[in-house]
């Protein structure tokens, strides 16, 4: 049971209603995470706006979903692991690729470099160095892509914390967290 109310459109603050309608239109339903965040219109607008902006970025969706599952597993977020595994499969990644990404691994060297960087950001609280950024460049990422990788990590930290802190019920097909 969620630690805060899961808001639906009929009881949402007026400033959240339009955003919830957009989310419902995008998913065909309103995922519980957004219903939890709808308690704060400002937080909901921020989260949905970030999803929209980054969804229009230069990184391919399959890569961003792999980053999301790696970050989710690292943060022990069952909700985001389930949601982004499903979204990654929809973006064309195989079940095996998503499971590998969950563990921070990929056969493709460029994807592996992005996952390594993303997990360093999480585990080292942003304290990465010149060599870490150089490794991304060596893997073929330019500065725009590098900043977007960081932005995806930041957005996923926000969503992970919402779901873990508020114990938001998972409404996507469940995926097992890796053993620690």
Output the pLDDT for position 41. Answer: 97
CA-nearest of 66, 57, 54 to 94 is 66
Residues 43, 80 within the same domain: no
Integer CA distances (angstroms), 29 to 51, 74, 173, in order:
16, 27, 14
Output the pLDDT for position 124. Answer: 98
In a domain, 158, yes or no: yes
Output the pLDDT for position 180. Answer: 78
Residues 76, 49 within the same domain: no
Q: Quick check: pTM over 0.85?
A: yes
In a domain, 77, yes or no: yes
CA-nearest of 62, 39, 37 to 50 is 37
Query: Which CATH number characterizes residue 142's domain?
Result: 1.20.1290.10
Q: Give Cα 135 distance to the centre of its chain.
A: 23
Output the pLDDT for position 157. Answer: 98
Q: How big is the chain, counted in residues?
A: 180
Residues 48, 65 within the same domain: no
Structure tokens of 85? 């595994």
Residues 72, 150 within the same domain: yes
DSSP string, 10-68: GGS-HHHHHHHHHHHHHHSS--HHHHHHTTSHHHHHHHHHHHHHHHTSSS-HHHHHHHH
Q: Give Cα 84 distance to the centre of its chain.
A: 7
Domain extent at residue 126: 61-165
Output the pLDDT for position 21. Answer: 96
pLDDT per residue, tens digit, the chain (180 aa), is 899 999 998 989 999 999 999 999 999 999 999 999 999 999 999 999 999 999 999 999 999 999 999 999 999 999 999 999 999 999 999 999 999 999 999 999 999 999 999 999 999 999 999 999 999 999 999 999 999 999 999 999 999 999 999 999 999 999 999 987
82 CB-side CA count, 13 A: 16
CA-nearest of 105, 123, 117 to 148 is 117
The domain tally of the chain equals: 2
């Amino acid at each position: 049971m969620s630690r805060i109310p899961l808001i639906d459109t009929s009881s949402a603050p007026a400033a959240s209603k339009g955003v919830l309608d957009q989310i419902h239109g995008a998913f065909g339903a309103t995922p519980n995470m957004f219903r939890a965040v709808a308690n704060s219109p400002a937080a909901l607008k921020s989260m949905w706006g970030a999803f929209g902006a980054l969804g229009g970025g230069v990184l391919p969706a399959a890569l961003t979903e792999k980053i999301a599952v790696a970050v989710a597993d690292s943060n022990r977020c069952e909700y985001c692991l389930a949601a982004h595994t499903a979204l990654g499969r929809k973006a064309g990644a195989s079940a095996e690729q998503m499971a590998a990404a969950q563990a921070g691994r990929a056969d493709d060297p460029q994807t592996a470099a992005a996952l390594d960087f993303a997990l360093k950001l999480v585990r080292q609280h942003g304290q990465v160095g010149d060599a870490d950024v150089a490794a991304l460049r060596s893997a073929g990422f330019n500065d725009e892509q590098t900043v977007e990788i960081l932005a995806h990590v930041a957005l996923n930290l926000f969503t992970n914390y919402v779901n873990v802190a508020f114990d938001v019920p998972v409404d996507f097909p469940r995926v097992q967290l890796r053993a620690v």
